[in-house]
Every structure is written in structure tokens, then in C-alpha cells.
Amino acid sequence: MRITCPLCGSRDRREFYYYGAADYLARPAEGAGLEAWDAYLHLRDNPAGMTKDLWYHEAGCSAWIEVTRDTTSHAVLSSRLVAAVESADLPGRSAPARKKAAPRKKKGTS
């Protein structure tokens, strides 16, 4: 699998760290209830087919990328910088985009 980084072009999958579904971009607004946070952190559509997920170009330019993929074929359809994702695109929020905290890195063991 090769992933297209908007800055570096088509790169080996090994250069990227997978973070999870793009749901992580739709952070609940301040004061949102438990249900909203549970949905944000845990509940997933988990689609068989087209999906959007977040990858970090760890061994490259360090950009966070939203990749559109097909989970049934591993085809990478498109990608764009998370920084370029407008808050207007995000479901469930209307406030301006908040600066995103750096996600935790995966430890060596699993």
C-alpha cells in the first residue's frame, strides 16, 4: 500500500503512522455531554468500503493527513492535509477549528 502525502507525493505505507477514523477531527464542542465524547472517542461507523482516516507522515514531513481509502481493496483514493480541512467540512460542529493536541504515539508493544 502506498499513500499519497500532499507534500511529499506517493510514499511507502511504512513511513506513516495510522491514528484512526477521521471522526477524530470532529471534536465535541466545549461543554458537550458524555454521549458526545463517547461517540467521538469510541463509536465508529467502521465502513466496509470508502472511509476517511488520519495518518501521520512520521518518517517524512511530519504532516497529519486525512486519507480517503477503500477498506475492501486498500485502494488509496485521495488525501489532503488535516491543516487544510475547513471546520465547515466537519459534521457536528460550527465553532471555529480549535488547535488540535498532538495525539499519543503508539508504544512498541501491543
Partner 1 sequence: MRYNGLNVIWQGLVGNTGWKPAWRTPVPKSAYDAIIIGGGGHGLSTAYYLAKNHGLNNIAVLEKGYLGGGNVGRNTTIVRANYFLPGNQEFYSHSLKLWEGLEAELNYNVMHSQRGLVNLFHSDGQRDAFVRRGNAMAAQGDDAVLLDREGVRELLPYLDYDQARFPIHGGLLHPRGGTARHDAVAWGYARAADRRGVDLIQNCEVTGIDIEAGRVTGVQTTQGPIRAPKVGMVVAGRSGQVAAMAGMRLPVESHVLQAFVTEGLKPVIDHVISFGMGHFYISQSDKGGLVFGGDLDFYASYAARGNLPMVEHVMEAGMTLMPMIGRAKVLRSWGGIMDMTPDGSPIIDRTHVEGLFVDCGWNYGGFKAVPASGWCMAHLMATGEPHPVARRFRLNRFATGDLLDEEGTGSQHNLH
Which residues of this protein are in contact with partner 1, per CB under 8 A? 1, 12-14, 18-21, 34-35, 38-39, 41-49, 51, 53, 71-74, 104, 106-107, 109-110
Between 88 and 101, CB nearer to partner 1: 101
Q: Which residue has the cell 476517511?
A: 52
- Least gap, CB of 96 to partner 1 (angstroms): 26
Q: Which residues contact 106 (CB under 8 A, 6 or more apart)?
A: 17
- Least gap, CB of 9 to partner 1 (angstroms): 19
CA-based torsion, 75, 43, 6, 94: positive or negative: positive
Burial of 33 (0-12, 13-18, 19+ CB in 10 A): exposed
Between 35 and 89, CB nearer to partner 1: 35
Between 20 and 92, CB nearer to partner 1: 20
H-run or E-run covering 4: strand 2-5
- Least gap, CB of 11 to partner 1 (angstroms): 12
